[in-house]
Amino acid sequence: MKPTDSAAPAPRLRRLVVPALPAAFTVLAALTLLTGVIWTLGERRALFPSGTVGWSLAVLTGIIVGHLVALGRDRWWGGTGSGAALALAVVLLYGWMPAVLVSLSVVVLVGAARRHRWRQAVLHGAVDLLGVGAAALGSAALGSTATVRRPWHPEVWDLSVLPQVVAAAACYLLVTRGLLWCTLLPRGGGLPTVTRTALTRQMLVGVALFGIAPLIAVTADHAPLLLPFYAVPLIALDSTLWIARARAEEQLRDPLTGLPNRQWLLERTWSALDEAERIEARCALVLIDLDRFRSVNDTLGHLAGDRLLLQIADRLRDALPRGAEAARLGGDEFAVLLPTADSLTSAQRVARNLVATLGSPLDLDGLTLVLEASAGVAVFPDHALDAEGLLRRADVAMYQAKRDRSGVEVYEARRDGNTPDRLGLLGDLRRALDAGDVELHYQPKVGFDGQVAGLEALVRWVHPDRGRVPPDEFIAIAETSGLMPRLTEYVLETALAQVARWRAMGLEVPVAVNVSPRDVHSPGFAGAVAARLARHRVPPGALQLEITEHVLLEDPQRAADTLAGLTGHGVKMSLDDFGTGYSSLVHLRRLPVSELKIDRSFVARLAVDNEDAEIVRCTLDLAHSLGLLVVAEGVEDDETWERLRDLGCDAVQGWLVAAAMPPDETTAWLRARGKSGWHRESETAALAAEKAADRPSGQVLN
């Protein structure tokens, strides 16, 4: 999904403006500081008070800095409450420049002690400097311009000083919180939870500023030696803010594994997308789900399942590539964020490595368990431009991997039934089924003796606005929604009605209908098919259902019961697309089929590829040894016909025989060949004429 032209300028503007804000604030703060220093020195004024007051303020500042350094590397995020209170008190008493020195001492020195966060220190120092300047202006607006030489000494510390304190504190808070808000606001339109909590809690600093800052000012005015004792309430203020932030971080952690949770993942993904957009790189999200983990809980209990999840989380952490971050979304679902990805292929490679790692044997109380995993990959900007969209599309790809048993899938829009365009197409398909606007075309299968072996019913839909919609597109939409049973019901009803009409004309030919695994797993499906046969008075032998081996992958027992019920009613079964999935002797033994169809991907290169020819030969030998008939799909030339006949194939289907035709054309075709059978020589000439006339392809698409 790509952005439209009209939406393109906004991301570009965002990419230019957002990273420029911290730099702009820093430059503005540096110029302001330089101007203030030059002006103060030019006026031969002191930068900081001397004597007892100056030393007491310096000691108090040093205690606060030491406390913040002692908090530890991970307990400081750049802002403080103690520094703000102390700076506000100093700006009230001695003006802007001394307050700036106090603020910079707290923020910059603590930031320097954490070298990996020096950018945060510079940003917070710049913001604090501008906030102190705003507080000085707010105080000046009420007529007080304090300096080191002429401090602010109210005659009486009563309610008359409250407006000046409130003005200075309000200006400081509004400027500092506003600038940080603009700087930290991500593209998603909301602040990350931890940052939002920190800013919200720091708004409470305002209350502390109103209470503590005037007290510090009064003490500095009357008893400066007592100033260091304010370290106790100021440190308590910082500790309160840190506890609030720690609790916010706990809300972003999974309590079992300690991994970040879904909310953290979305917020972190937004940040990664901003950075990827800025440097014009890719960002990938991998969603991982453990296959059949529920059976572990059901068999061994939830406590054992929790211990297993802990092992999975540890493996995931150890297997992460450099820079990648993992999260647990809930249950047995995990996610891995790749902030930078070289390409779709590299993201897919990482996903395969993670799936392989999680699939290694696990030990649980002496019991060795092997859990398989499925992963879906979505990449920015190829598949989505926002965090929620990237997560949803990785989820779509993951479920596709689970359905196909392929391990890892990259998101494909054509297989996603949840895009606005495809949702619209789904609604149109539903209305077309209700109105009977979906058609069935029929493609013949013939034996090498020229006799018609049957017909396959193929769905065709001409959309009133889009024109002909490819079957693989709208059938995929139906399969990923709840519409597939309705589509199968429509096809069965239409096909059986047509079979009944043909039988009334004396044309007795079996018709094959494709059914999906979802149909086979639907309760009562076998009985519903038998009821339709009875209603149309069509013998069960006139209907053949084509299935794939996927019917056994989700619920083998229910699928086996349904298939046994269908064959018990006399309905014949055909195994479609043989060789393209998880074909095995076990599946062939468990499926009650009488016919096997070799996929066109092997037939197409039969005459030129020895490996494909050997696969077809082995398939024919295997099927015949099991008493199955074999039909080859996609036969389009005489050479392939000859090779299949020599190999002993029973019947063929494809352009060489006939394209898929509407009912009227199929009727005429059946009548023309009812007595004399099908002759390849005459049909080859007819096919050449059709191709010359650019007749639409009759390729089989299920």
Q: What is the mean pLDDT of residues 406-429?
A: 76
- Grade residue 701 by pLDDT with cuts at 50, 70 and 90: very low
The tokens describing 694, both together, are 């650019």
Q: Is the pLDDT of residue 696 over 80?
A: no
Q: What is the mean pLDDT of residues 503-525?
A: 89
Q: Is the pLDDT of residue 122 over 60?
A: yes
Which pLDDT belongs to residue 682?
Answer: 52
Which pLDDT belongs to residue 601?
Answer: 81
d(CA 251, CA 126): 30
- Grade residue 681 by pLDDT with cuts at 50, 70 and 90: low
Q: Is the pLDDT of residue 680 over 60?
A: no
Under a CB-based contact definition with an 8 Å cutoff, are residues 700 and 456 in contact? yes
Q: Is the pLDDT of residue 138 over 50?
A: yes
> For the ranges 335-339, 423-427, 486-490, 642-646, which has the lowest average pLDDT?
423-427
Q: Is the pLDDT of residue 15 over 50?
A: no
Q: Is the pLDDT of residue 19 over 70?
A: no
pLDDT above 90: percentage of residues in the chain:
13
> For the ranges 81-85, 110-114, 137-141, 677-681, which has the lowest average pLDDT?
677-681
Q: Is the pLDDT of residue 407 over 50?
A: yes
The tokens describing 248, both together, are 């916010």
DSSP E strand boundaries for 464-520: 467-469, 511-514
Mean pLDDT of the chain: 78
d(CA 384, CA 390): 5
- Grade residue 503 by pLDDT with cuts at 50, 70 and 90: very high
DSSP calls for 236-299: HHHHHHHHHHHHHHHTTB-TTT--B-HHHHHHHHHHHHHHHHHTT-EEEEEEEEETTTHHHHHH
Which pLDDT belongs to residue 544?
Answer: 93
The conformation of residue 560, written as its DSSP 8-state character, comes to H
Of 358, 185, 384, which Cα lies nearest the Cα of 277?
A: 384
Q: Which tops the pLDDT comparison, 202 or 371?
A: 371
Helix (H, G, I), strand (E, B) or coil at 56: helix
Summarised one tens digit per residue, pLDDT across range 38-63 is 776 666 667 778 888 888 888 888 88
Q: Is the pLDDT of residue 224 over 80?
A: yes
The tokens describing 196, both together, are 């939002």
- Torsion angles phi and psi, residue 632, rounded to 5: -100, 130
Q: Which tops the pLDDT comparison, 680 or 644?
A: 644
Q: Is the pLDDT of residue 545 over 60?
A: yes
Sign of the alpha-carbon torsion through 255, 256, 258, 262: negative
Q: Which tops the pLDDT comparison, 621 or 179?
A: 621
What pTM, to 2 d.p., does this model score? 0.51
Of 503, 542, 519, which Cα lies nearest the Cα of 702?
A: 519
Number of Cβ within a 10 Å radius of residue 118: 13
pLDDT above 70: percentage of residues in the chain:
78
Q: Which residue has the tokens 């297997």?
A: 319
Which pLDDT belongs to residue 554?
Answer: 60
Of 647, 568, 567, which Cα lies nearest the Cα of 607?
A: 647
Q: Which tops the pLDDT comparison, 73 or 273?
A: 273
User: Cα 328 to chain center, whole Å?
Assistant: 13
H or E segment and range at residue 55 = helix 51-70
Under a CB-based contact definition with an 8 Å cutoff, are residues 82 and 103 in contact? no
Q: Please compute, for residue 377, the number of CA atoms within 13 A of its CA located in the half-sphere on the CB side.
A: 25
- Grade residue 496 by pLDDT with cuts at 50, 70 and 90: very high
Which pLDDT belongs to residue 587?
Answer: 58
Which pLDDT belongs to residue 629?
Answer: 92
Which pLDDT belongs to residue 325?
Answer: 87
d(CA 164, CA 167): 5
Q: What is the mean pLDDT of residues 223-231?
A: 86
Q: Is the pLDDT of residue 14 over 70?
A: no
Which pLDDT belongs to residue 254?
Answer: 78
Q: What is the mean pLDDT of residues 201-216?
A: 66
Residues 6+ away with beta carbon under 8 Å from 381: 2, 3, 276, 277, 282
Which pLDDT belongs to residue 536?
Answer: 94
Q: Which tops the pLDDT comparison, 217 or 557?
A: 217
Q: Is the pLDDT of residue 106 over 80?
A: no
- Grade residue 114 by pLDDT with cuts at 50, 70 and 90: low
Under a CB-based contact definition with an 8 Å cutoff, are residues 544 and 571 in contact? yes
d(CA 109, CA 125): 10
Q: Which tops the pLDDT comparison, 548 or 421?
A: 548
d(CA 202, CA 649): 79
Q: Is the pLDDT of residue 450 over 90?
A: no
Which pLDDT belongs to residue 18?
Answer: 42
Q: Is the pLDDT of residue 373 over 50?
A: yes
Which pLDDT belongs to residue 81?
Answer: 65
The tokens describing 110, both together, are 């603590």
Which pLDDT belongs to residue 695?
Answer: 44
> For the ranges 292-296, 315-319, 471-475, 673-677, which has the lowest average pLDDT?
673-677
d(CA 232, CA 63): 10
Residues 6+ away with beta carbon under 8 Å from 149: 45, 46
Which pLDDT belongs to residue 586?
Answer: 56
Q: What is the mean pLDDT of residues 329-333?
A: 82
Which pLDDT belongs to residue 80?
Answer: 56
Q: Is the pLDDT of residue 123 over 70?
A: yes
Which pLDDT belongs to residue 579?
Answer: 60
